[in-house]
C-alpha cells in the first residue's frame, strides 16, 4: 500500500515529536538570520561540527547588519576550519545585498531568496519553512537520501532527470499547513539520524514498512 501525502506527513510528524532534534541553537530563535546562517554552515558539514562555529559566529555577529558591516577578513577568520570558504564570502555578500536591496529584512519569496548570493532552492525553502512557517519544500542531502530510498529511485541525484523527480516528490509531500516547521526539521533529522549513508537504522524508521528500498532489500544501492 502506498502512502498518501497526508499519511506520509503524519508519520513524519509523530516521529519528530518523539525523536526529532529540538534543541539545536538555531532552533531557539527561528529568526531568518539564524536559520540562514545555520543552513549555509550545514552545507557539506555535520551538525556536531557546526554548533560551536555557529555559536561563536552569532556571538560575534548577532545581527545581519553587524555581519554586513564587518570586514570580509574578519568573517573568514571566524569561518576558519569550516572549509569551503566560498560559503563565507557568499554569506558576507548576501548580508550586504539584503541590507542594500531589502532594508535588512529577508524577502519572504522563494525566487527573491534564490537570487541572493549563496542561496539555492533548498536553502531558500528552508528559510521560508523554518523561519517564516511558509509551505516550501527542501531537498538537502539528507532529504534526497530518504526520498531516493523510499521510492527506490536509481541514477545520480545530481542529474536533471533524477533531480526533477526528487523535487516533485519533495513538493508533493510538503504540508501546506501550520506543521511545515516540524515536518521540514523531521525530514532533515530522519536522513541525518536514521536513514544514514551507511548502516541506516531501518528498524527506527517511521517509513520502514512502506520503503521500497527496504522491502526490496536494496538499501545499499541508494
**What residues are labeled active site?**
39
Q: Cα separation of 149 and 141, whole Å?
A: 12
The cell for 183 is 515536518
Q: Cα separation of 36 and 144, whole Å?
A: 20
Q: Cα separation of 84 and 112, whole Å?
A: 24
Q: Cα separation of 184 and 190, whole Å?
A: 10
Nearest residue to 54 (alpha-carbon basis) of 74, 77, 71, 78: 78
The cell for 198 is 551507511
Q: Cα separation of 137 and 171, whole Å?
A: 5
Q: Cα separation of 144 and 161, whole Å?
A: 14
Q: Cα separation of 23 and 148, whole Å?
A: 28
The cell for 49 is 561540527
The cell for 211 is 520503503
Amino acid at each position: 500500500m502506498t502512502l498518501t501525502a497526508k499519511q506520509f506527513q503524519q508519520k513524519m510528524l509523530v516521529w519528530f515529536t518523539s525523536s526529532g532534534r529540538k534543541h539545536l541553537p538555531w532552533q531557539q530563535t527561528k529568526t531568518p538570520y539564524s536559520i540562514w546562517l545555520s543552513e549555509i554552515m550545514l552545507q557539506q558539514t555535520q551538525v556536531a561540527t557546526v554548533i560551536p562555529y555557529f555559536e561563536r559566529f552569532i556571538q560575534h555577529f548577532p545581527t545581519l547588519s553587524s555581519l554586513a558591516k564587518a570586514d570580509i577578513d574578519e568573517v573568514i577568520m571566524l569561518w576558519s576550519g569550516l572549509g569551503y570558504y566560498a560559503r563565507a564570502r557568499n554569506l558576507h555578500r548576501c548580508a550586504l545585498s539584503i541590507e542594500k536591496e531589502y532594508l535588512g529584512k529577508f524577502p519572504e519569496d522563494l525566487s527573491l531568496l534564490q537570487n541572493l548570493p549563496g542561496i539555492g532552492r533548498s536553502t531558500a525553502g528552508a528559510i521560508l519553512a523554518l523561519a517564516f512557517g511558509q509551505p516550501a519544500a527542501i531537498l538537502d542531502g539528507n532529504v534526497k537520501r530518504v526520498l531516493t530510498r523510499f521510492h527506490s529511485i536509481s541514477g545520480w541525484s545530481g542529474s536533471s532527470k533524477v533531480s526533477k523527480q526528487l523535487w516533485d516528490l519533495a513538493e508533493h509531500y510538503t504540508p501546506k499547513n501550520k506543521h511545515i516547521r516540524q515536518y521540514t526539521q523531521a525530514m532533515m533529522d530522519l536522513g541525518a539520524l536514521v536513514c544514514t549513508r551507511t548502516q541506516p537504522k531501518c528498524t527506527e524508521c517511521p517509513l520502514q514498512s512502506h520503503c521500497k528500498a527496504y522491502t526490496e532489500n536494496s538499501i545499499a544501492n541508494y
